[in-house]
Structures are given as structure tokens and as C-alpha cells.
Structure 1
Amino acid sequence: MTDQTLAGRRVLIVEDDYYQAQDCKQMLERVGAKVVAACATIPDLSRLLEDGPIDVVLIDINLGHGLSFDFARELKARAIPFVFLTGYDTAMLPEDLAESPYLSKPADGPHIVAALAGLPRNGES
């Protein structure tokens, strides 16, 4: 995976499994993404945005100490595109997030890259 599909895109990873997060980070950087953070818990989005826009987010649903749905809603309200990456079934998604892009674990690198690359940058439609 050496193409630059995500070249220059600023990506946030929210994943509580350290190895999954690091694998995703390394893989995304190989395709040209700038990983602004890899967080095991819900980050302070306003603080992260102080350093620049976030183009796309890869987000696990279960972060060990709770679900990430409220964070996904915050991303949606700010028009920041995201993809859920989780072991849960889509049936557990709340109605307001049911149409969100979704990848089942384990997802391989090409599928993650394709899902993120297929999203518009923050602010684009």
C-alpha cells in the first residue's frame, strides 16, 4: 500500500486498542495521511481543531469506558466526516447515526483507506 490516496488529509483515530490504533496510524501515514492524533478515549475536539482542521475520523464505537455515539454526533454537527470501525453490528447504531459509514473489525488496510478516502474533506460536500 504505497499510493498516496489520502495525501495531505488530516486524520483523527479514536480507538482504544493500542495495537489497532498504531497499525491504523502507520498504515494511514504510508498512504500520505497526516494523523493528527490517535486517542484511546474521546478527545477534546475543540482543542484538536486549534491546530488545524480535521478532514476525516476513524472511530471505534466501544472505547472501553463507554460508547462513542455522542462524539460521532459532535463530528456530524461540525460536518467532520467519519467512519465507524467496530466489532459491533450495524443494528446497534442509533437511528440518527444509522446511515454513517461503517467497517466491521477486523478490517484490512485497503478497506480502511478506501472508506476514509471516499469521504469528502471537512467542509466539502
Structure 2
Amino acid sequence: MFEDHSGLASALADLLVERLGYRVTACVDSVEDAIRAAHAEPCDVAVVDLELQGVMAYPALDELKRRGIPYVLATGSMLVDIPPHYRAPLVLKPYSATQLETAIREARQSTHSA
């Protein structure tokens, strides 16, 4: 999980674990840490805030793509503002647990069917 707002990161981690049954392997708040986590952490899907501390997280997305890890963009950015190469299931902040769960399912299915 890549999220730079600490309160939202905590709520998101709780949601992922308690409601959706996932295990959070990393929670980072900078692009540099996101790249490291994307390179090394074991995970089935990543939830990514596209802008971390004012820096676009595209290098971390590149690493997730390289490893074949699907991701969900949990962001305030509109789909039209995201380069086509990085598009993925999207939830716009503020989002609900149901929206996030649907996006995660879509991300995982698109990787398995690709």
C-alpha cells in the first residue's frame, strides 16, 4: 500500500485487513520507499496513491508492472489525467470499501486473464 496521508493509510490498512481479509505487507509514504517495496515485497495486489508527497508514483508502478503485480489506483486524479500506460482499476478519493473491493477484484482478474 502506497499512501502518503497517515490517517488515510491507517484507515486503509484497517479496511484491507479487517473487512476485506488481506494482509498488508508494506505501507509506505514516499516514491523512493514505494519503489523499494514494489521491488522486494511479496504481494498479490497493490493499492497505490498516484501522488506521494507531491511526486508521481510512476516509477513504483513500473516496478509493479515489471513484477506482474496488479495494482489499484486510489487517488484524487481523474482517469483522463493518467497516462494510458499506467491506467488500472481506479477508485477516486473518498472511496468506499465496496468500491475498493471491486477495484481489487478487477485488478487481480485482469492480470490473470492477460
Q: Shorter-chain TM-score: what band? A: 0.7 to 0.9
Report whether the alignment pairs 1:21 with 2:9.
Answer: yes
CA contact 2:43–2:69 (8 Å) conserved in 1: yes
Partner residue in 1 for 2:94: 106
Structure with the higher fraction of residues in helix conformation:
2
Q: Identity of paired residues, percent?
A: 25
Aligned-partner SS, 1:14: coil
Structure 2 counterparts to residues 40-51 of structure 1, below 5 A: 40-42=29-31, 43=33, 44=36, 45-48=38-41
- Per the TM alignment, residue 124 of structure 1 is displaced from its structure 2 partner at its CA by 3.8
Structure 2 counterparts to residues 1-125 of structure 1, below 5 A: 13-30=1-18, 31-42=20-31, 43=33, 44=36, 45-48=38-41, 53-98=42-87, 100-120=88-108, 124-125=112-113
Gaps of 5+ in 1: 1-12
Q: Which amino acid aligns with 2:57?
A: S
- Per the TM alignment, residue 65 of structure 1 is displaced from its structure 2 partner at its CA by 3.6
Structure-2 separation of matches of 1:110 and 1:92: 24
Structure-2 separation of matches of 1:105 and 1:68: 16
Q: Which amino acid aligns with 1:20?
A: L
Q: For 1:34-73, what per-residue CA distance to the aligned partner results, in whole angstroms no more than 9, with x for missing partners?
A: 100111113213332xxxx310000001111410112112
Greater C-alpha Rg: 1
Gaps of 5+ in 2: none
**RMSD after superposition:** 1.7
Structure-1 separation of matches of 2:24 and 2:112: 19
- Per the TM alignment, residue 23 of structure 1 is displaced from its structure 2 partner at its CA by 0.5
Structure-2 separation of matches of 1:87 and 1:46: 25
